Amino acid sequence: NAGVTQTPKFRILKIGQSMTLQCTQDMNHNYMYWYRQDPGMGLKLIYYSVGAGITDKGEVPNGYNVSRSTTEDFPLRLELAAPSQTSVYFCASSIQGTGANVLTFGAGSRLTVL
Amino acid sequence: DAKTTQPPSMDCAEGRAANLPCNHSTISGNEYVYWYRQIHSQGPQYIIHGLKNNETNEMASLIITEDRKSSTLILPHATLRDTAVYYCRTHSGGSNYKLTFGKGTLLTVNP
């Protein structure tokens, strides 16, 4: 049981390049989330998904796209990378029932755009 | 989710109890209170949650006031490894899936 796995851990992009951050979970969680965290700042929600085929925007979705074709995977795509997207990206998942909703986070992907 | 207010920073001596407050005065009856922490550059880690009653686990205790408008996370014997940003948030089940976080409290445990 690996929990939430993110790849890559580190990446340097040039302005205008595109890339996909991968996130996979093996806990059969139905909810998945992408957050970004700028240096010294808190977590900002980018996108979330409540199940395969269903995604929605969070607080800061501009410049990103997501898809959820399976329960396990929730990739985050950056199109036309900009220096403002330099950040640490965290993926999280949870299982939503009638009670509590506890998030399990991945270790993060550190992205630098130069 | 209720808006939460936490002090931006706190200090604690090693071996002493750390008491981290959180105000959530607009909390509704079915909203849980959750605490997470983030040690430098790592992914946030779940600590504890509760609805009405006080809760304790191997990491911490959670005290929720009777009116549920505030709570306190207690680390009974803080160690240097407890230095981290601690986030308090609330959430009910149902259809609100947009889980956001505030700025949290930076707890510094001093030797």
pLDDT at B92: 76
Question: What residues of chain A score a pLDDT lower than 70?
Answer: 97-99
Chain B residues within an 8 Å CB radius of A51 = none
Sort strands A54-57 and A43-51 into parallel, antiparallel or unpaired: antiparallel
| A41/B103 touch (CB, cutoff 8 Å), yes or no | yes
Chain B residues within an 8 Å CB radius of A96 = 93, 97
Chain B residues within an 8 Å CB radius of A35 = 101
Chain B residues within an 8 Å CB radius of A74 = none
Cα–Cα distance measured from residue A49 to residue B56, given in angstroms and rounded to the nearest whole number: 31
Residue with structure tokens 């006080």? B54
Tell which residue, B64, B13, B9, has the closest CA to residue B35. B64
Tell me the pLDDT of chain B (111 aa) as tens digits. Answer: 778 999 999 999 999 999 999 999 888 888 899 999 999 889 999 999 999 989 999 999 999 999 999 999 999 999 999 999 999 998 876 666 778 888 899 999 999
Residue with structure tokens 């956001």? B100
Tell which residue, A36, A17, A38, has the closest CA to residue A82. A17
pLDDT at B99: 81
Task: List CB contacts of B48: < 8 A, sequence separation 6 or more.
Answer: B34, B35, B55, B56, B57, B59, B60, B61, B62, B73
| B46/A98 touch (CB, cutoff 8 Å), yes or no | no
| A103/B99 touch (CB, cutoff 8 Å), yes or no | yes
Distance from CA of A32 to the nearest CA of B (A): 10
Cα–Cα distance measured from residue B59 to residue A19, given in angstroms and rounded to the nearest whole number: 38
